[in-house]
């Protein structure tokens, strides 16, 4: 196979699918690849990226029941009628508490459920391009919204990876004031139609407040 290209920058216009393009080469005949925009720009510009989130709310209501009474810190549902997969990009968790009285939050974990067609309390996500709450086939959930209509109980899958959320003061692990942790899924988790994803904690705490967000791309099945 013979691969041919042009040395130096080129100016091209959008063309019909299947139209051949010339690749760019460096002066050593190496293939030049540039990111141009942020890595999620193209999908966001095409209107396929959405998010859901919540402002600071007491952590007391978030105990693990794993049933339709569960109120996740943040949750996401892809209806069975959906024609897309939800490709998870990133999740955010912020903890706000007075260190002297915060105590322990417990572990944060991700849980999933499959085959769900009738959840009723879901919220409409934000389109990350238009800034309108419209267009998504998914619904998201917060501490204020139970998973009412959940057909199959949640199953805890693994620990959430919000590195750095806890700091040790003396012998007591204490949440940092206003700390924000990120979990970069970078598209390595897919929520299929009927699937539910929920961020949960193992210990209720009335002196801790949390805020959260989740970002995903909707890709045709």
- Cα dihedral 52→164→201→99 (10° resolution): -110
- Of how many residues is the chain composed? 221
**What is the chain's pLDDT, residue by residue, as a tens digit (221 residues)?**
566 787 877 766 666 666 777 788 887 788 877 777 888 888 999 999 999 999 877 776 556 789 999 999 999 999 999 999 999 999 999 887 765 655 667 788 999 999 999 999 999 999 999 999 999 999 999 988 899 999 999 999 999 987 555 554 445 555 555 678 889 998 899 999 999 999 998 877 777 788 899 999 999 99
Q: Nearest Cα to 48, choosing from 212, 220, 221, 185?
A: 220
**pLDDT confidence of residue 172:** 57
pTM: 0.81
**pLDDT confidence of residue 162:** 79
Domain boundaries, the chain: 41-220
Q: Nearest Cα to 73, choosing from 86, 85, 56, 89?
A: 56
């Amino acid at each position: 196979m013979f691969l041919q290209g042009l040395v130096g920058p080129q100016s091209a216009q959008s063309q019909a699918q299947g139209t051949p393009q010339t690749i760019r080469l460096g002066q050593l005949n190496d293939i030049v690849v540039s990111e141009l925009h942020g890595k999620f720009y193209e999908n966001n510009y095409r209107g396929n990226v959405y998010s859901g989130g919540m402002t600071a709310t007491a952590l007391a209501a978030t105990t693990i029941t794993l049933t339709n009474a569960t109120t996740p810190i943040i949750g996401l549902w892809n209806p069975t009628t959906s024609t897309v997969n939800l490709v998870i990009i990133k999740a955010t968790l912020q903890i706000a508490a007075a260190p002297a009285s915060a105590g322990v939050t417990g572990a944060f974990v991700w849980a999933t459920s499959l085959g769900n067609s009738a959840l009723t309390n879901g919220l409409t996500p934000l389109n990350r391009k238009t800034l309108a709450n419209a267009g998504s086939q998914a619904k998201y959930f917060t501490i204020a919204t139970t998973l009412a209509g959940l057909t199959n109980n949640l199953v805890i899958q693994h620990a959430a990876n919000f590195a750095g959320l806890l700091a040790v003061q003396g012998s007591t692990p204490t949440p940092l004031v206003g700390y924000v942790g990120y979990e970069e899924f970078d598209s390595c988790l897919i929520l299929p139609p009927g699937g539910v994803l929920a961020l949960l904690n193992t210990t209720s705490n009335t002196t801790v407040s949390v805020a959260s967000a989740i970002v995903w791309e909707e890709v045709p099945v």
